[in-house]
Amino acid sequence: MGTARSIGNEINMSHAINGENLHVQGVVKAAHEELRQLIQQRAEIMKRIGTLKQTIQGLANLFGDDVLGDDLQEIMDRKTSDRQPGFTKMCRTVLMEAGHPLSAREVSQLIQERNPAIMMRHKDPLASVTTVLNRLAEYGEAQSIVRENGRRAWIWASERTDKALTADHYENHALA
């Protein structure tokens, strides 16, 4: 009789555990879906930010920085400050301003020209740039393409950027 009760208890516990697992799995599934949606929203927001920054940059280039207020100049990295811009932010800015695909080496060179000090903080700057560019592509902020020479390049994924980018669209920007 003790054995029957023991088996009954095990069955009840098993049902409780399975029910709890189903509940936990449901919570995990819901959290995963919300996370996926938020990541997608972040990518869309970053694309919109990139488009707006490109527009503002173009207007400032045409009409001068005087059309920008102090706070906007700082957001656009056009105002000098004591603060060093972050490495990822610098990669974003270079890619955003280029308007065409750049290789990791080209991004690295442009950062070196703008802010050599930021590159000195990295043991292997080219590897760091490549890592950041890959991460920006994962976030949906940049898109990776393969050039005719077989090498990868990245372009800022603004709202105007077509999802079906190919190297053919940008062959005149390809560097050997």
Per-residue model confidence (pLDDT) at position 89: 86
Per-residue model confidence (pLDDT) at position 79: 56
Per-residue model confidence (pLDDT) at position 170: 45
Contact 39, 137 (CB under 8 A): no
In a domain, 133, yes or no: yes
Residue given tokens 């890619």 in the structure block: 95
Contact 42, 140 (CB under 8 A): yes
Tens-level pLDDT at each residue, the chain (176 residues): 555 566 556 656 555 566 677 788 888 999 999 988 988 888 788 778 877 877 887 787 788 777 888 778 777 665 554 444 589 889 988 998 888 999 999 999 999 999 888 888 889 999 999 999 999 888 878 899 999 999 999 998 865 554 444 444 444 444 43
In a domain, 144, yes or no: yes
State the CATH number of the domain containing residue 116. Answer: 1.10.10.10
In a domain, 21, yes or no: no
In b/e form, how buried is each residue of 10-25, taking b as 16+ CB within 10 angstroms? eeeeeeeeeeeeeeee
In a domain, 79, yes or no: no
User: What's the rounded Cα separation, in Å, for the pair 11 and 136?
Assistant: 50
Number of domains in the chain: 1
CB atoms within 10 A of CB 80: 8
| Strands 152-156 vs 142-146: parallel, antiparallel or unpaired | antiparallel
In a domain, 70, yes or no: no
In a domain, 138, yes or no: yes
Q: Give one word for 55, left, alpha or beta, with left for phi > 0 and alpha for psi -120 to 50.
A: alpha
In a domain, 37, yes or no: no
Per-residue model confidence (pLDDT) at position 70: 77
In a domain, 41, yes or no: no
Per-residue model confidence (pLDDT) at position 106: 97
Question: Which domain covers residue 152, as residue numbers?
Answer: 84-173
